[in-house]
Structure 1
Amino acid sequence: MVQSGDTLVLSLAELLGGKQVDTGVIDRALAELCSAFDFDGGLIYELDQYNHLHLKERFLRKELPLRGSFPIDAVDAAYRSYLAQETFVWLEGGQKNSAAENALLELFAAQSLVVASVVDETLQIYGLLVFVQQSARPVPPAGTQQLLKTVLSMFGRYIGVRVYQNKLTFAKNSLESILDNTGIDIYVNDFHTHDILYANRSMAAPYGGISQFLGRKCWEVLFPGQNGPCAFCPQQKLIDENGEPTKIYSWDYQRPFDGSWFRVFSAAFRWVDGRLAHVVSSADITDNKRNEALVEYLANYDSLTNLPNRRMLVKECERRI
């Protein structure tokens, strides 16, 4: 090792002390670790939403065959569980390795391999730190392994911040995809200021897209030229006397610019920051309204002459009486 253990730990602690994950910092940390432990290369892989691990950063001291990506299932499931619980594993080719360990050596075309996992709170692997040596080498003494355990724990926590952010992004994108494909229009506004907080794609499309919604009052988008809340807004039906959310309220609404009918559902709830919000969801019932009108017409008018029939006469008489 080029550096002493204390020097290496202090150097990495200073390097990885930032609050924002920086690619340049990761590259320098990989370089320091490869130099300190004489690895041929260091690789960082992160998991995507399709369960593939992708090479994000690398530092190479010599030309190496690299895996740009691979499915996480390429690593045996039982061995993944083992990896998730260990700080790191050190593998040597030609030893009495398990089939899963030999497969991992073959995956990275390595004779010597150090692998550390980045996991979430449920011990699911979301990233791998991989250090490769193309020539066989003896397993290091306990002191070197302890030093490696310390610095990889530091490095793993640093990478873990980005992995966690990516996990949140995957979850957010999945939720938005669900909301965009339900066949229901949805928007959310601040209960008191009426500022729009969210709109799904199908809701926003007829009005010019999401950019036309966010940061504006709901009536500014839905009823251009209006300068205040809608008279028919059901907000006060959505809260109790203490201002707390109660039950869902439903009503039918006809959009003025194209005559489309919607069954609307309104509810009050707490937004992510704790403020009271109003969620409005609606399903297009234009065809239903047309069918209802047709059924009503057929029930009250003769299909041959288009004149009011006896049923219509009775109803009209009852109404007038």
Structure 2
Amino acid sequence: MEQAGDALVLSLAELLGGKQVDSNVIGQALAVICAAFDFDGGLIYELDQYNHLNLKERCVSGALTLRESFSIDAIDPAYRSHLAMETFVRIDKSAENGAAEDALLELFAAQALVVVSVVDETLRIYGLLAFVQQEARPSPTAVSQQLLMTVLSMFGRYIGVRIYQNKLTFAKSSLESILDNTGIDIYVNDFYTHEILYVNRSMATPYGGVEQFFGRKCWEVLFPEQNGVCSFCPQQKLIDENGEPTKIYSWDYQRPFDGSWFRVFSAAFRWVDGRLAHVVSSADITDNKRSEALVEYLANYDSLTNLPNRRMLVKECERRIDEAQGGAEGYLLFFDIDGFKNINDTLWA
């Protein structure tokens, strides 16, 4: 038994030794474990964003009843904590079980069940390995139990790598979805080379899509008529004398090809690989600018005649007087219209 166990561990170690997690390898490992320990089925489930455990791989013999998906809430919360803490849990229908254990046996229509949980750093379950026996069998020996623990520990770590990778992929796609739907345009470039490192969809769409940005410098996409850094680029305002990020800088910018206005925010920060990067985000304020222009116009022009009003006169006088300081001369011209007050009093409503 000891030699057979050593051979099993070595064969699985060789099978699971690759640098990339492979579904074909997972299937082969399931088959090896099921054959070695007389399981009728080996099942691997992964948790999705909706807290459902979905069947990803299987190795079954006979007419095994399969749960393609089930809510993790189908497992009692207290028992989930137990599963998360243990290397593996074996449940046998012939033993005296609690309600949570009986519920798991029923969930998998099993006479005996071995469950291995895949957890994150907070011991939250993100995956389950379930090995099912449909018919009653003699209880495994202590040596067999120890061998199974060793094998499943190896296999669980291998599966855990993929589940963690999938978790990161989901987190990345969720973050990108948030950035694409904030109503704010965002792009990131290398602080010194100006190579574009990231762009969200709303920023990229007016310029032909995300694929137009990568591998290029920011001005090559945004201002193709230029052959160098933009004169208004605020990068030097974003770092201190030691080249470290300081504060956010903002300004308003009008896009030349359609006249849209944007409130732009720039900041320096460290990119994922440690390099200094420049993030530029902007919100469309075209409607705000038009409203500001309308308010400014209504404040300075008469709505009936569209001529400058008294407020505009005062402002212009102040401006001209300021310009005339230092000995320069200026002129002020008054004129009046005879009888206009009577017209204004009687005809203006």
How high is the TM-score relative to the length of structure 1? 0.97
* TM-superposition CA deviations, 1:210-262 (whole Å, max 9, x none): 11111111111111222111110001111111111111101000011111111
Q: Paired residue for 1:218?
A: 218
Q: Paired residue for 1:290?
A: 290
Partner Cα separation in structure 2 for residue 303 and residue 2 of structure 1: 99
Structure 1 letter corresponding to 2:33: L
Structure 1: tracts of 5 or more residues without a match: none
CA positional deviation for 1:3: 8.0
Q: Paired residue for 1:168?
A: 168
Partner Cα separation in structure 1 for residue 29 and residue 187 of structure 2: 45
Partner Cα separation in structure 1 for residue 99 and residue 136 of structure 2: 18
Partner Cα separation in structure 1 for residue 226 and residue 63 of structure 2: 66
Partner Cα separation in structure 2 for residue 315 and residue 20 of structure 1: 72
Q: Paired residue for 2:306?
A: 306
Q: Paired residue for 1:157?
A: 157
Q: Paired residue for 1:278?
A: 278
Q: Paired residue for 2:328?
A: none
Q: Paired residue for 1:124?
A: 124
Q: Paired residue for 1:67?
A: 67
Structure 2 letter corresponding to 1:182: T
Partner Cα separation in structure 1 for residue 210 and residue 158 of structure 2: 34
Equivalent residue runs for 1:70-85 within 5 Å:
70-85=70-85
Number of residue-to-residue matches in the alignment:
321
Equivalent residue runs for 1:129-278 within 5 Å:
129-278=129-278
Contact 1:254 1:260 in 2 (8 A): yes
* TM-superposition CA deviations, 1:67-113 (whole Å, max 9, x none): 11111111111111100111111111243211111111111111111
Partner Cα separation in structure 2 for residue 127 and residue 3 of structure 1: 31
Secondary structure, aligned partner of 1:167: helix
Structure 1 letter corresponding to 2:10: L
Kindly report the root-mean-square deviation, in angstroms, between the aligned alpha carbons of the 2 structures. 1.4
Structure 1 letter corresponding to 2:161: V
Structure 2 letter corresponding to 1:278: H
Q: Paired residue for 2:27?
A: 27
Give the 4+ runs in structure 1 shifted more than 3 A: none
* TM-superposition CA deviations, 1:244-291 (whole Å, max 9, x none): 111110100001111111110100111000111000011111111111
Partner Cα separation in structure 1 for residue 74 and residue 209 of structure 2: 41
Structure 2 letter corresponding to 1:202: S
Contact 1:2 1:35 in 2 (8 A): no
Secondary structure, aligned partner of 1:278: strand
Q: Paired residue for 2:324?
A: none
Of stretches 62-71 and 266-275 in structure 1, the one that deviates more from structure 2 is 62-71
Q: Paired residue for 1:52?
A: 52
Contact 1:44 1:127 in 2 (8 A): yes
Contact 1:66 1:108 in 2 (8 A): yes
Structure 2 letter corresponding to 1:282: S
Partner Cα separation in structure 2 for residue 202 and residue 2 of structure 1: 62
CA positional deviation for 1:123: 1.1
CA positional deviation for 1:292: 0.8
How high is the TM-score relative to the length of structure 2? 0.89
* TM-superposition CA deviations, 1:123-179 (whole Å, max 9, x none): 111111111111122321211111100000000011111011011111111211221
Contact 1:265 1:281 in 2 (8 A): yes
Contact 1:46 1:55 in 2 (8 A): yes
Q: Alpha carbons of 1:290 and 1:297: their partners in 2 closer, same or farther (altered >3 Å)?
A: same
Secondary structure, aligned partner of 1:226: coil
Q: Alpha carbons of 1:276 and 1:183: their partners in 2 closer, same or farther (altered >3 Å)?
A: same
* TM-superposition CA deviations, 1:269-316 (whole Å, max 9, x none): 110001110000111111111111111101110001111111111221
* TM-superposition CA deviations, 1:55-74 (whole Å, max 9, x none): 11111122211111111111
Contact 1:92 1:137 in 2 (8 A): no
Partner Cα separation in structure 2 for residue 291 and residue 85 of structure 1: 61
Structure 2 letter corresponding to 1:287: D
Secondary structure, aligned partner of 2:215: coil
Partner Cα separation in structure 2 for residue 75 and residue 310 of structure 1: 77
Partner Cα separation in structure 2 for residue 117 and residue 3 of structure 1: 28
Contact 1:83 1:116 in 2 (8 A): yes
